[in-house]
Amino acid sequence: MLNPLRSEAEAFRFLLYALAVAVVIIVIILAARAIF
Amino acid sequence: MEAASIAHGGVHDGHGAEHHGPPPANRSSRAEPQLLGMFLFIISEIMVFGAFFTAYFFIRVSQGDPWPAHGTTLPVGVAGFNTAILVSSSFTVHWAEQSIKRGNRFGLKAGMLLTFLLGCSFLFIQINEYANIGFAPQDAAQQTIFYSLTGLHGAHVFIGLLLLLFVTIRSFRGHYSPEEHRGVEVPGIYWHFVDIMWLVVYTTVYIL
């Protein structure tokens, strides 16, 4: 299991996952606002 | 510390080695002290951010007022550009840490210097945003929580910049090696935490 507080490499990977999630959420919100 | 290990009569040469008696006092047998310290610190700071996010959602949901407040606009584009700067700085600090693991001192120095400069740019743009945003923290609850949440993050960026400055200076002095670079890794973990927290703050405050 990924533990971002165990090493810098794992923290960086967690950041990449968080970035991907943030981008998906932002795209969904902006798309929803454009449609509705 | 070596005396304490010898007194216990055990050979502590890594995971799976024979242990006789209890481990050394005030030492975790599973985590290095530096990493454990940063682990506990980051967990406590996540709780602080949690309290501020609670206030943000309470103000935004319970009052029912539009967000942002009537007559105000949030600089989503500028903050988005700032987000790109901060994310880039996480890439550069990762580059620095990976470089010193492989003995690449140029990569360490360049990465740390770039990270510090990108972090300073982020903070400078944030302060400039405060100066030109058009409302003050005392105007209303919405404005207060905006400044509080982004300001709390800005304070963490400032702390991170201090750590990065120390690491950058030590990097140029040749203090780190492939065998001993914990001083790069631990501030790197903190900086990634600051970046991840900004992603949450940006998505919540500027986009949502």
**Closest Cβ–Cβ partner in A7, A11, A19 for B87:** A19
* Closest residue in chain A to residue B92, using alpha carbons only: A12
> Do B72 and B23 belong together in one domain?
no
Q: Provide the residue range defining the domain that includes B179.
A: 33-207
Q: Is B75 left (phi over 0), alpha (psi -120 to 50) or beta?
A: beta
pLDDT tens for B163-183 read 999 999 999 999 999 999 999
Find out whether B86 and B119 touch, Cβ atoms under 8 Å. yes
**Closest Cβ–Cβ partner in B42, B90, B184 for A12:** B90
The answer, yes or no, to whether ipTM is higher than 0.90 is no
| B126 burial type by CB count under 10 A (0-12 exposed, 13-18 middle, 19+ buried) | buried
Mean of pLDDT over chain B: 88
User: Is the pTM above the cut of 0.80?
Assistant: yes
Distance of CA B124 to the CA centre of its chain: 17
Q: Which band of pLDDT confidence, cut at 50, 70 and 90, is reported for residue B6?
A: very low
> Do B94 and B140 belong together in one domain?
yes
Where residue B39 sits, what CATH number does that domain have? 1.20.120.80
> Do B22 and B117 belong together in one domain?
no
> Do B21 and B113 belong together in one domain?
no
Whether pLDDT at B7 is above 80: no
* Closest residue in chain B to residue A27, using alpha carbons only: B207
How many structural domains are present in chain B?
A: 2
Distance of CA B31 to the CA centre of its chain: 20
What pLDDT score was predicted for residue B194? 97
